[in-house]
């Protein structure tokens, strides 16, 4: 375990449990930590860890962070792609990043803030000498802030993020994880997880911020209320054909059909058939 503090709440947090868009500040952290489906080795790292809709990342102000053969040092960011698609170490704009911290964050983490500004000072000198060139790329909001918020409404929920950023790399394993998580949520009455794993296409496709997510929650609530799902046995889910899975119950089977996307499979439909 490492000591990490959420920039959003100011509370201690496990980096792997961060909400999409939040960041955890770390200071002089060392050791191996599971994060975004990788084992990340921290060597006296001060900086931050977080998730965007596109990737997990470790911002290094001092020390070094390594995963899957890549190492990021002071002034670099370790990028961790979902679905085990690999890692990379890239330079980041420390001045712009430090400037995104509000006064409360800077006051709460003065040492890390000073180190970020020290990196920014070195980068300014290298820019002046022509050794660096400015970039508009922002891993925390790739594309634009609005596009990032739209994508978060699709893949930013905890249940989806945990499957995308897991050690599970093959599509069949990911699909099974979706089915088991969906069936488990039905069994426990977890409306949020059921909604998050439902196919977003009927509710807004690429952006659920304008009423789509609310409609998805209402439908999830209706599905949960259709019957007593507590007898579902998620761990016994079996693939029937291509995207169709069956999950046994005490007196029948639930049939769950998935729709594949480039990010994750979503639940397109569920039907229950009573046993004879």
Query: How many CA atoms within 13 Å lie on the side-chain side of 264?
Result: 31
- For residue 146, the surrounding DSSP H or E stretch is helix 145-155
Q: Is residue 199 a contact partner of residue 268, using CB atoms and an 8 Å limit?
A: yes
For 215, phi then psi, to 5°, come to -65, -35
What pLDDT, on a 0 to 100 scale, did the predictor assign at position 275?
A: 66
Residue 85 has a CB neighbour count (10 Å cut-off) of 11
CA distances from 275 to 115, 165, 244 (A): 64, 37, 18
Q: Is residue 29 a contact partner of residue 2, using CB atoms and an 8 Å limit?
A: yes
| Range 31-49 burial, b when 16+ CB lie within 10 A, else e | eebebbbbebebeebbbbb
What pLDDT, on a 0 to 100 scale, did the predictor assign at position 220?
A: 95
What pLDDT, on a 0 to 100 scale, did the predictor assign at position 216?
A: 93
Residues contacting residue 13 through CB under 8 Å, at least 6 positions apart: 4, 5, 6, 22, 24
pLDDT, averaged in runs of 10, over the chain (276 residues): 88 91 94 94 96 93 96 94 90 89 93 94 68 56 76 91 80 88 96 95 85 91 93 93 92 93 91 79
Helix (H, G, I), strand (E, B) or coil at 118: helix
- Spatial distance between the Cα atoms of 197 and 91, rounded to a whole number of angstroms: 34
State both tokens at 243: 């995207």
- Spatial distance between the Cα atoms of 21 and 56, rounded to a whole number of angstroms: 10
Q: Is residue 24 a contact partner of residue 4, using CB atoms and an 8 Å limit?
A: yes
Strands of the sheet containing 238-241, edge to edge, are 238-241, 244-249, 252-260, 265-274
- Residue 65's DSSP bridge partners are 42, 72
Residues contacting residue 77 through CB under 8 Å, at least 6 positions apart: 57, 58, 59, 60, 89, 90, 91, 92, 139
User: What phi-psi label fits residue 96: left (phi over 0), alpha (psi between -120 and 50 degrees) or beta?
Assistant: alpha
The residue behind tokens 């807004």 is 204
What pLDDT, on a 0 to 100 scale, did the predictor assign at position 135?
A: 56
């Amino acid at each position: 375990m490492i000591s990490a503090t959420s920039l959003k709440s100011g509370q201690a947090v496990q980096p792997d449990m961060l909400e999409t868009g939040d960041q955890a500040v770390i200071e002089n952290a060392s050791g191996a930590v599971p994060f975004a489906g990788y084992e990340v080795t921290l060597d006296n790292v001060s900086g931050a860890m977080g998730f965007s809709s596109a990737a997990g990342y470790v911002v290094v102000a001092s020390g070094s962070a390594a995963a899957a053969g890549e190492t990021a040092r002071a002034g670099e960011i370790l990028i961790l792609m979902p679905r085990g698609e690999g890692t990379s170490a890239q330079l980041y704009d420390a001045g712009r990043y430090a400037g995104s911290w509000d006064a409360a964050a800077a006051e709460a983490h003065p040492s890390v803030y000073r180190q970020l500004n020290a990196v920014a000072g070195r980068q300014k000198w290298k820019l002046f000498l022509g050794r660096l060139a400015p970039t508009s790329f922002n891993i925390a909001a790739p594309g634009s802030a609005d596009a990032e918020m739209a994508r978060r409404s699709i893949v930013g929920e905890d249940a989806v993020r945990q499957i995308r950023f897991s050690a599970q790399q093959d599509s069949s394993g990911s699909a099974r994880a979706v089915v088991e998580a969906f069936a488990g949520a039905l069994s426990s009455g977890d409306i949020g997880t059921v909604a998050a794993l439902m196919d977003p296409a009927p509710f807004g496709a690429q952006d659920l911020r304008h009423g789509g997510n609310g409609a998805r929650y209402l439908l999830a609530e209706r599905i949960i209320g259709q019957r007593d799902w507590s007898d579902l046995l998620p761990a016994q889910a079996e693939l029937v054909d291509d995207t169709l899975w069956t999950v046994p119950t005490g007196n029948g089977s639930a049939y769950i059909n998935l729709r594949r996307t480039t990010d994750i499979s979503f639940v397109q439909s569920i039907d229950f058939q009573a046993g004879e």
